[in-house]
Amino acid sequence: MNHRHRKVLHGIFSHPLNHNLDPRAVEHVLEELGAELSHTGHGALAVKLGEERGSFHLGSGSVGGDEVMRLRKLIAAAGVEPERDYPL
């Protein structure tokens, strides 16, 4: 995973919540983590990461706070810890 992707991954887990994440960058990070992605109707993105599944509306601007929290929970449930697995 390159440095840019690591920064986005750490941005998902940052406190306070980061409301300025690019949806395309988030998709690339999920791909780097090994997630299976499929675009469903109306801008939704279905994600399967390990045994965890989720559906997210990333939109075209920046990723919303609720979606960031749901992404954080999905990634953590899949066993990924950014500080341990992908340090900056």
Q: What is the pLDDT of residues 15-39, one digit of tens each?
A: 999 888 999 999 999 999 999 999 9
Tell me the whole-structure pTM to 2 decimals: 0.89
pLDDT at 70 over 90: yes
Is residue 66 classed as helix, strand or coil in its secondary structure?
A: helix
One-letter-per-residue 3-state SS of 4-43: HHHHHHHHHCCCCCCCCCCHHHHHHHHHHCCCEEEECHHH
Using DSSP's 3-state secondary structure scheme, residue 54 falls into strand
* Rounded mean pLDDT, 30-59: 90
